[in-house]
A = this chain, B = another copy of it.
């Protein structure tokens, strides 16, 4: 086994910590407490699927100066020991008497004076991944130190990707693109949707995904009703539009894009909707620039669809992407987040095709000073037909 994590050199992590510490200073915070898998991966490089077990909490403390401290269950000591971190404190979890609370309180008390403030992500798109009762005990124990919302502190740093991160996301997108190219091999009329979903996951793995954290999709005549369901046993039928959407993972970085296929023959509305979605995306690819706000992208994509005679679907029309399937900002009319160069984003216009039916089209980009650079190889302009 390698002594140190090979996903990135320590320098990448040091730059992240320096950026977080600058954010802490801006907000007059003395330390940042992280509990979410993505935040812990981001600061340490600790990559595992063991998060799937809800049994144990894991903690990273980023002090205002110096290196982070990991406070983790001893089952993770070996793997955490191969990251760039050197101060790793462990306990035998799960411990119903004290599941890391004392150890964490000690680490925070060392980093933060009694009059100090501890940043914790508490806002939109965050969760506290530890038992609430333990957090309340921790808060009482550390008083008069105060816990303060630090959502912006972590989000402003994580949302701007380094070139090394962009390369990782591009590589994952390439894996998914190769898998999408193979869909016509296994998605014929008559095949059960559940078999198609299974074969698509196999294709993603065969093409190089480390694992497949997300596959959704749908199929129906002229479009589909929802986009988050697992597949049922019912077969694909001639005239269906099939949509497959994936968040595959390689080296901890996600892609998140979809592709539509007509099980021949494609209906007129499905062709027209696909063309409108493709061209609305094309508009955004040429017009998007740093300095715009997240809600401007919603407006851009909505207008692009309306100009082509289509009604945009509800919900957000894209979002951030990186070390979780979806990240902020959200392309809704309400999100004022300024877009910056280095953000990795999905463009995800959806439009209504019939009563209760929609079609959705998605690409992944990195925003550059000069505009978007595609990370997902561009979808074909015309809706592809299988079995024509």
Contacts and interface: CB of A to CB of B under 8 A. Distances in A.
Interface of A: 1-2, 6, 36, 38, 47-50, 52-55, 74-79, 92, 94-97, 99, 120, 122-133, 135-136, 149, 151, 194, 197-198, 201-202, 205-206, 209-216, 220, 225-230, 232, 234, 247, 314-316, 319, 324-326, 328, 330, 332, 334-335, 356
Number of copies of this kind of chain in the complex? 2
B316 A125 contact: no
Given A53-B324, A127-B128, A232-B2, A74 B202 contact: no
A53 to B, nearest CB: 4
Given A53-B214, A124-B131, A127-B129, 4 more contacts: A38-B54, A55-B125, A74-B314, A201-B205
8 contacts: A53-B326, A55-B330, A75-B227, A78-B229, A79-B229, A97-B334, A122-B132, A133-B149
Contacts of A54: 36, 38, 125-127, 324, 326
Contact of A131 (B77, B126, B220, B335): B126
Given A49-B215, A52-B213, A55-B319, A75 B131 contact: no
B216 A205 contact: no
Contact of A228 (B79, B124, B220, B225): B79
A95 to B, nearest CB: 6
Contacts of A326: 53-55
B230 A94 contact: no
A357 B132 CA distance: 35
A237 to B, nearest CB: 13
A127 B130 contact: yes
Nearest to A316: B94
A232 B82 CA distance: 12
A253 to B, nearest CB: 13
Nearest to A78: B226
A210 B226 contact: no
A131 B151 CA distance: 10
Contact of A126 (B1, B79, B132, B213): B132
Given A55-B319, A94-B330, A131 B120 contact: no
B124 A75 contact: no
Contacts of A92: 314-315, 332
Nearest to A37: B54
Contact of A95 (B198, B226, B228, B334): B334
A315 B92 CA distance: 6
Contacts of A334: 95-97
**Which of A38, A194, A334 lies at the interface centre, i.e. has the most chain B CB atoms within 10 A of its CB?**
A334
B99 A124 contact: yes
Contacts of A325: 52-53
Contact of A49 (B127, B130, B230, B356): B230
A352 to B, nearest CB: 14
Contacts of A229: 1, 48, 78-79
Given A96-B335, A228-B75, A123 B133 contact: yes
Contacts of A136: 122
B127 A75 contact: no
B228 A48 contact: yes
A77 B334 CA distance: 21
Contacts of A213: 49, 52
